[in-house]
Amino acid sequence: MGKKNKQFVEKVTAMEDDFAQWYTDVVKQADLVDYGLVRGTMIIKPYGYAIWENIRNELDKMIKETGHSNVAFPIFIPESLLQKEKDHVEGFAPEVAWVTHGGDEELAERIAVRPTSEALFCDYYSKNIHSYRDLPMLYNQWANVVRWEKTTRPFLRSSEFHWQEGHTAHATDEDASIETERMLGVYADLVENYLAIPVLKGRKTDKEKFAGANYTLTIESLMHDGRALQSGTSHHFGSGFAEAFDITYLDENGESQYVHQTSWGLSTRIMGGLIMVHGDNRGLVVPPRIAPTQVMIVPIAQHKEGVLDKAYDLRDQLKEVARVDIDASDKSPGWKFNEHEMKGVPIRVEIGPKDIENEQVVIVRRDTGEKEFVALKDLQARIGALLADIQQNLFDKALAHRNEKINIATTLEEFKQTLDEKTGFIKAMWCGDQACEEKIKEDTQATSRCIPFEQEKISDTCVCCGKEAKELVYWGKAY
């Protein structure tokens, strides 16, 4: 085995020793990305993009099933347009990349490289919505955006990333509210049922909501190291953007009304969540429902007569029940095992001369490492059952891990002590005062993750100030 091959199968840094380095090792060795030439950018390589494509395709299907149409808006936004909604532009100003020249000529007005597209959609809506018959207007676009981040990490926080952003306009505030909740439900469905990541659903505090929104709904996930990840958000704008951009329609009585809007997005950031929730010290673990290859066939002693032919026959048979491939390269079986474990392929099927003689194969699960012998006549059924079992096992394991790391605090001292001694979410009551929220962040570096829809009363008083509590909040350190 050559030096290059040996390098690939080196063990990743143990996550218990250095979680950040473990993450970087997995991203690189699983062949997901390479670093771009500009700081904070990344090249998503074929395998990484194949996973993102499967996530994207499932989400795109869900979005279309809820009545939305895909569109494509420009990447450039004139500064004057971006300035129209004061809170919005202030929220994004530190992260905006500006174009100041076209060729050698200085532009009369700076142009923003899209950090998000609210301004563009609002300008479009102001020119194309006239009557209540034009509503609702339900749009989504798949795009890349630029946000000039100070610290970057592949997938989790990059200067340029891929995402979808939904933008909708409705006749009433109630209709916009229904849309905001519905699309958060779509995200929760995708993340839990396809990526096997359990989520908390709730509302962001006013401090943490999207700039310019009335309120923001969120799904929050917990990573293996006990840090939280905001995994998808849905924003209710009310009529704020409509008033700033003069988006009105004539209602059934012929009276002019402002539209009510929403916006919602999920990005390649969820790829980071996938890595950090399911990965282990052997590399990536990909849930079957979004795995590019669900079954990898590895021929053993493939130089011997009949082995490769049988392996290709198996591939053709299994195509009926799974996304299957065969590794017929001249690398050693051990190298192949390591490579496909590193990439998180859910099932490995091994077949060699003795297996052919016994009319069986060896099956190895990536999630548990369990090995079993399966008769060739039972293989299709067993593969289908195993894929479903692996999908469920990954979710159950992640759910148990999250639940184990949910702690309770009723005083600020208890809050601090819990953070010092444990990782994960902290459930604590809050009075609703932003000053308390800011003090908790200043003292502990923990932020409010969400006000859960399912409320509990674990204390009568605020964890920070001791005054009467209004609601339960999940707190935590986050990516």
Per-residue pLDDT of the chain (479 residues; tens, 9 = 90+): 344 444 444 679 999 999 999 999 999 999 999 999 999 999 999 999 999 999 999 999 999 999 999 999 999 999 999 998 777 878 888 899 999 999 999 999 999 999 999 999 999 999 999 999 999 999 999 999 999 988 889 999 999 999 999 999 999 999 999 999 999 999 999 999 999 999 999 999 999 999 999 999 999 999 999 999 999 999 999 999 999 999 999 999 999 999 999 999 999 999 999 999 999 999 999 999 999 999 999 999 999 999 999 999 999 999 999 999 999 999 999 999 999 999 999 999 999 999 999 999 999 999 999 999 999 999 999 999 999 999 999 999 999 999 999 999 999 999 999 999 999 999 999 999 999 999 999 999 999 999 999 999 999 999 999 999 999 999 999 99
Please indicate, yes or no, whether residues 21 and 118 belong to a single structural domain of this protein: yes
At residue 132, the pLDDT reads 98
Are 274 and 224 within 8 A, CB to CB? no
- For residue 106, the domain's CATH number is 3.30.930.10
Structural domain contains residue 401: no
At residue 4, the pLDDT reads 43
Structural domain contains residue 75: yes
Please indicate, yes or no, whether residues 61 and 160 belong to a single structural domain of this protein: yes
Q: What range does the domain containing 325 cover? A: 290-391
Please indicate, yes or no, whether residues 257 and 114 belong to a single structural domain of this protein: yes
At residue 46, the pLDDT reads 98
Are 200 and 453 within 8 A, CB to CB? no
**In terms of residues, how long is the chain?**
479
Please indicate, yes or no, whether residues 121 and 177 belong to a single structural domain of this protein: yes
Q: Which amino acid is at 189?
A: D
Please indicate, yes or no, whether residues 325 and 440 belong to a single structural domain of this protein: no
Q: Which two tokens stand for residue 201?
A: 């659903």
Please indicate, yes or no, whether residues 154 and 206 belong to a single structural domain of this protein: yes
Please indicate, yes or no, whether residues 255 and 320 belong to a single structural domain of this protein: no
Using the 3D structure, point to which of 228, 253, 278 is the last residue of a domain: 278
Please indicate, yes or no, whether residues 216 and 329 belong to a single structural domain of this protein: no
At residue 89, the pLDDT reads 77
In the block, residue with structure tokens 């444990």: 422
Structural domain contains residue 256: yes
Please indicate, yes or no, whether residues 58 and 161 belong to a single structural domain of this protein: yes
Q: Which two tokens stand for residue 183?
A: 């699309």
- For residue 412, the domain's CATH number is 3.30.110.30
Using the 3D structure, point to which of 278, 298, 331 is the last residue of a domain: 278
Q: In what order do the strands lie in the sheet with 160-170?
A: 69-70, 137-146, 160-170, 260-267, 228-238, 215-222, 200-203, 447-452, 471-476, 425-430, 406-408
Please indicate, yes or no, whether residues 185 and 115 belong to a single structural domain of this protein: yes
Please indicate, yes or no, whether residues 296 and 372 belong to a single structural domain of this protein: yes
d(CA 358, CA 339): 27
Structural domain contains residue 331: yes
Q: Which two tokens stand for residue 432?
A: 């609703």
Are 344 and 288 within 8 A, CB to CB? no
Please indicate, yes or no, whether residues 320 and 217 belong to a single structural domain of this protein: no
Structural domain contains residue 253: yes
Domain count, the chain: 3
Are 225 and 15 within 8 A, CB to CB? yes
pTM: 0.94
Structural domain contains residue 400: no
At residue 466, the pLDDT reads 96
Structural domain contains residue 251: yes
